[in-house]
Amino acid sequence: MSFLSRLFHRDRASEPPMAAARIDEAIERIVAIHPRIAVASGYRRRLRQPVAATLQYADELMASLPATLDASADAWAGNPSLRAFFATPDDIADIFGRSQEVRAFFDANPDAVDLHGTLGMALFERHVLGVALDGDTLHHDVQQTTLSFSDHRVRICGRTETSLREEIERRLIDQLALEGLSMLAATRAARLARGRELMQERVALMHRRGTGMSAVAGGGVTVEAHELAHVQTQIAQNAESLAALRVPTDVVEHELEGVCEVLGKPADYVYIRNRHIRIDMMNVVQEGDTTRGNDIEFHFVRVPGVPPQMRAFAMVRFRRSDLPPGGLHIDAAMRAI
């Protein structure tokens, strides 16, 4: 056994079985997005430490997520976050009913009484002039900040909160692999014009499929089920084209180094932040030390695209019994207008 092989096995032996399995699964996902790095010498051994750093970042992110919201009309009045996200209690069932992913989940899981999912929303922050009460005095033309949430989408669903958290973690790994691929397509791959073109095409196809954090926050273009099969075929054809491309060994080595760089510093490449804020019933941000309003908490993420989007998201639980009657594919109808 060579020195490098002994080192690889020694490193794996020092990892707890669960940690080793997580790292192995993450490496498989990364290679699925960027297959060419598997040609590089010792790619698995070289990916293990950067992937471990990414998984630690994912653990910290998961620990920072606020508690799952019970997304129901009954809970709306007593939950400040639901009141901030939804204008009326009836909007909750309406929005979940529009989601083809929600309906597909319940169709595929006939015994499930509820689902756990990520509610993605467009977040708008506006600075306006309003009125404010200071003691018994009403002041006009006061500078205020208001929050509004729109374009609600639910695209990631799971049977339990644990399975949902695991899926968010997998999406984070995919997103970092995409960030590495995007960076390479814009820089090092420029040495080979055709390689650069194929890598850019692969990034675009992956985004269209909903790979990465885009689906968690409900961003990007919604792809219908019948279109998704065609996108999958295009991704497979793209992989074959990349594999057939003659690439010097040093280029592949640079590509692996670039992916390792991104995975080793995940916070530099994937922008996810927690927002804890106090707002009143009109979604006006309450500044300073005040008892007015209520605290809400959510995360927001940068979704790549042209232009990039900032999307808010929260983990929610939705009951099957609250799902409106099926048969109306509202999302498709609205997109056709």
Distances (CA, A) of 12 to 9, 46, 49, 52, 66: 5, 12, 11, 12, 33
Residue 2: predicted pLDDT: 43
CB distance 211 to 172 below 8 Å: no
The helix (run of H) or strand (run of E) holding residue 123 is: strand 114-134
Is the pLDDT reported for residue 269 higher than 60?
yes
For residues 294-322, b (16+ Cβ closer than 10 Å) or e, as one string? eebbbbbbbbbeeeebbbbbbbbbbbeee
Give me 61's structure tokens: 């992110």
> Cα angle vertex 119, ends 144, 181, to 5°?
100
3-state secondary structure of 334: helix
Residue 190: predicted pLDDT: 47
Residue 215: predicted pLDDT: 77
When mean pLDDT is compared across 111-115, 244-248, 284-288, 327-331, the lowest value belongs to 327-331
Phi, psi of 159 (to 5 degrees): -75, -30
Percent of the chain with pLDDT over 70: 67
Residue 320: predicted pLDDT: 96
Residue 246: predicted pLDDT: 60
DSSP code of residue 284: B
Average of per-residue pLDDT across 318-329: 80
CB distance 70 to 317 below 8 Å: yes
When mean pLDDT is compared across 17-21, 128-132, 287-291, the lowest value belongs to 128-132
Measured CA to CA, the distance from residue 184 to residue 254 in angstroms comes to 9
At 87-103, the pLDDT tens digits run 999 999 999 999 989 99
When mean pLDDT is compared across 92-96, 112-116, 198-202, the lowest value belongs to 198-202
Is the pLDDT reported for residue 171 higher than 80?
yes
Phi, psi of 316 (to 5 degrees): -135, 160
Q: Which residue has the higher pLDDT, 181 or 75?
A: 75
Instruction: Please enumerate, as own/partner, the contacts of 185-192 that have beta carbons within 8 Å and a separation of 24 or more.
Output: 187/258, 188/251, 188/254, 188/255, 188/258, 189/251, 189/255, 191/251, 192/245, 192/247, 192/251
Q: How high does pLDDT run on average in the chain?
A: 78
Top mean-pLDDT range of 62-66, 97-101, 173-177, 308-312: 97-101
Top mean-pLDDT range of 47-56, 61-70, 129-138, 233-242: 47-56
Residue 17: predicted pLDDT: 62
Phi, psi of 234 (to 5 degrees): -65, -40
